[in-house]
Homo-oligomer: A and B are copies of this chain.
Amino acid sequence: MMQSQQYNSAANANPTQRYMIGVDVGGTKIEAVLLDDAAQVLAIARVPARRGADLVVEDIATLARTVGADHWDDVAQVGIGIPGQVDWKTGQVGHVVNLDIVELDLADQVSAQLGGIPVHVENDVNAAAVGAAAVLHEDEEAIAFLNLGTGLAVGLINNGRIMHGASGSAGEIGHIPIDPNRFECPCGQRGCLETVCSGSAVAQLWPTDDGRPPMPDLIARARAGEPAAQRVLAKVKHALGDAVQIVAQAVDPNTIIVGGGMARTGQPLLDAMSEELSARAANCAFLESLQLPARLKLAPADEPTGAIGAALAARV
């Protein structure tokens, strides 16, 4: 009875507020979308990222007004996905190194620029997890989004809700120090998984002199028989295997969505990961029973999943 009263009263107060805006803040670009209540993208806009707290707030607000222009009075909320330390309960962010932000009341400042509209801020990997799951129509109980970007991190969704963890660090597997190469990590540890298993790590391990993305080149040359490429790829595949086993055996998600910049490699990346996991399972009935290759799925490459997820994360 209580529940339905609350529902009616909310519906009466805002009978048509059903649009959502999502903004994905990255190190190089900021992208915004307007969604209807079926999560369809009605408008999209992006600008190159500018550094510094004031410019970031200004760019987010401008993009939100741009995509929301035709329906402004019916926009219920704005969701933002951003890297760095994010307190999703307060909307405060810290240490967004790529954008020269030390500390910022992001939700409050953007809300103030937009006439007081509710603003929700989420970690960018969590937002990407929500967006990728929505675009792929994944609605299983447990979903992991393995982000192979500048760093390595996982976004976890359980029963439709982001798992933040006690300190907001759920899914921060990139700094588990178990890689056998024992490379030094800028975090201060040695052997962090992301020193081998991330886009920036592969760019260091396999530099391409013409600016092409390194992972497709590395896989192609290893397949063509180049010993140096095979050695480097073996390291990367090993770290990818460790990352997937950690996620699968700690959390056991139905689906592991592979995303981030490195996932633009596409099917050859998924094939390399499946090979590694199948080889590991060859002698282990337990691992074989987990059927990990069948759980892998590529994130959609051509959709604004980060911005879509930022909008939806504000709702869930």
Q: Which residues of A contact B (CB under 8 A)?
A: 1, 140-142, 154, 158, 163-173, 175-178, 180, 187-189, 242, 245-254, 280, 283-287, 289-291, 295
20 chain-A/chain-B pairs, Cβ below 8 angstroms: A142-B165, A154-B250, A158-B158, A163-B251, A166-B252, A167-B252, A167-B291, A168-B252, A169-B249, A169-B252, A172-B249, A176-B242, A176-B245, A176-B246, A176-B249, A176-B250, A178-B242, A188-B283, A189-B280, A189-B283
| Separation of A274 and B45 alpha carbons in the complex (Å) | 49
User: How many copies of this protein are present in the complex?
Assistant: 2
- Which B residues lie within 8 Å of A284 (CB)? 175, 187-189
- Which B residues lie within 8 Å of A166 (CB)? 140-142, 252-254, 295
- B252 near A251: Cβ-Cβ < 8 Å: no
Q: For residue A174, which residue of chain B has the nearest CB? A: B249
Given A175-B287, A178-B178, A187-B286; 11 other pairs, CB 8 A cutoff: A142-B163, A142-B165, A173-B249, A173-B250, A176-B242, A177-B280, A178-B242, A180-B180, A187-B284, A188-B284, A188-B287
- Which B residues lie within 8 Å of A245 (CB)? 176-177
- B158 near A287: Cβ-Cβ < 8 Å: no
- B163 near A287: Cβ-Cβ < 8 Å: no
The distance from the CB of A192 to the nearest CB of chain B, in whole angstroms, is 9
- A187 near B287: Cβ-Cβ < 8 Å: yes
- B175 near A286: Cβ-Cβ < 8 Å: yes
| Separation of A283 and B189 alpha carbons in the complex (Å) | 7
A interface majority secondary structure: loop
The distance from the CB of A221 to the nearest CB of chain B, in whole angstroms, is 27
The distance from the CB of A133 to the nearest CB of chain B, in whole angstroms, is 14
| Separation of A283 and B253 alpha carbons in the complex (Å) | 32
- B178 near A251: Cβ-Cβ < 8 Å: no
| Separation of A291 and B284 alpha carbons in the complex (Å) | 35
- Which B residues lie within 8 Å of A287 (CB)? 175, 187-189
| Separation of A181 and B164 alpha carbons in the complex (Å) | 33
The 6 closest A-B pairs by CB, nearest first: A165-B252, A188-B284, A188-B283, A250-B250, A170-B252, A166-B254
| Separation of A265 and B242 alpha carbons in the complex (Å) | 31
The distance from the CB of A70 to the nearest CB of chain B, in whole angstroms, is 39
| Separation of A169 and B246 alpha carbons in the complex (Å) | 12
- A246 near B250: Cβ-Cβ < 8 Å: yes
- B253 near A250: Cβ-Cβ < 8 Å: no
- Which B residues lie within 8 Å of A291 (CB)? 167
- B176 near A251: Cβ-Cβ < 8 Å: no
